[in-house]
Amino acid sequence: MNIDTFCRQLPKLSSCQELHAHLNGSLSRFTMLELQRYLADNGMADKSNVFLDEFQIGAGDTRNLSDCFQVFNIAHALTSTKKTLSMATALTIKEFEDDGCCYIELRSTPRTTPHMTMSEYVETIVQTMRKETADMTIISCLIISINRSSTHEDANIIADVAIEYHTKYPDTVVGIELSGNPAVGKFQNFLPALDRARKAGLKVTLHCGEICNQQEVIEMLNFKPDRIGHGVCIHPLFGGNDATWELLCKSQIPVEICLTSNVNTKSTQDYNSHHFKELYNAKVPVVICTDDKGVFATSLSQEYRICAETFGIEQSKLARLSLSACNYIFAEDKRKILSDTMLNFINKYEL
Ligand code: 6MZ
């Protein structure tokens, strides 16, 4: 099998997992058109009046990381009702399944809209995952996001909602995370809310080192999250220093790698110089993810293929990369079933 065929089959035949996908950044053009149509047909044309063409930040786009935080408003306008939020959740999970993904931890930031409270926002996604997508083969879970630009009070309300829903649906609401524009807000302000959620049983992942801030990277790694996202500016070559790099290597905290997101937002110069290479060679645990497949025009199978081609990772190693990711999923009870599927795949193809 050549590498291209293999990468297209890997997720289809194995237990490929998506562990870093923001719901409102993952909407495809098809999904957005469906939401627009629903809103227009139901007398809410004002909400559907958004410029879809500005949503995608493809290769060579002149916009950078901080500009990219504007485009989420486009998706947010479309997912402000319970019905369209539910449609967005179901259609996005289906697209991941069609791409061969067997397990997804979708993440989203609870918002108060004219049609929903924060609790209703979470309730809508949870019920969609538990009912609407129940007949799919993909397993879906939710990570609740706290945006770095939110107030201390809002962060605490979100932690309360996360704890409430984790208590009610522990197999669906599995984690909490910190995301949003990394140039805004301070990690320390969100630490109490995150710590409270962790003590209530939620796993924690943090966007860490998406821009250079060595002090914050150290604070985050010392907090010992279960995973971190991006981890761009940790190695000394990419704006980290010896202390941040040593701390990461020693901690063995898994890093959610988002290749195309980092390249398209210019956090990384190009694929070849992506820090994946340093992490992989240093045996820091890594998981290939998409981040915002709608915004960055990608898919999970495409990210695996780009990784294999850029870094010359042969098929057996790529399969083992996917196998090792089973250990880092937040739904601990699903780890064995996913890794058994992956092992069968490895044995079947004698990898
Ligand atoms: C940091 C990001 C992000 O939560 O409304 N988000 N945060 N870095 C990134 N790298 C590109 N991509 C997305 O999905 C959209 C939200 O996810 C976060 C931002 O807070 C964005 O508003 P939800 O479903």
* Å from CA of 25 to ligand 1 middle: 7
Q: Is 262 in the pocket of ligand 1 (CB under 6 A)?
A: no
pLDDT at 50: 76
Cα 181 to ligand 1 centroid, rounded to whole Å? 8
From the CA atom positions of the chain, what is the Rg in Å? 19
pLDDT at position 327 is 94
Q: Which pLDDT score, from 0 to 100, does residue 9 have?
A: 62
Catalytic choice (210, 256, 278, 303): 210
Q: Which of 191, 208, 218 is nearest to 256 (CA)?
A: 208
Q: Whose CA is closest to atom 18 on ligand 1?
A: 180
The dihedral over CA atoms of 236, 237, 240, 244, expressed in degrees to the nearest 10, equals -40
Check pocket membership of 301 for ligand 1, CB cut-off 6 A.
no
What's the CA gap between 198 and 200, in Å, rounded? 5
Query: Given the CA of residue 265, which atom of ligand 1 is nearest to it?
Result: 11
Phi/psi of residue 205, nearest 5 degrees: -130, 145
Residue 188 is predicted with a pLDDT of: 97
Token readout for 94 is: 């289906």
Model pLDDT, residue 341? 82
270-303 per-position pLDDT tens digit: 999 999 999 999 999 999 999 999 999 999 999 9
Question: Is 123 a known active-site residue?
Answer: no
291 lines ligand 1 (CB under 6 A): yes
Q: How far is the CA of 197 from the centre of ligand 1 (A)?
A: 20
- How many whole angstroms separate alpha carbon 14 and alpha carbon 99? 12
pLDDT for 8 equals 61
Q: Ligand 1 pocket: which of 20, 22, 91, 105 to mutate (most atoms <8 Å of CB)? A: 22
Compute the distance from residue 29 Cα to the ligand 1 centre, in Å. 17
Q: Which two tokens stand for residue 260?
A: 């195309």
pLDDT < 70 positions in the chain: 4, 7-15
The finding on whether 72 has its CB within 6 A of some atom of ligand 1 is yes
What residues does 113 pair with on adjacent strands?
A: 116
Cβ proximity of 77 and 87 under 8 Å: no
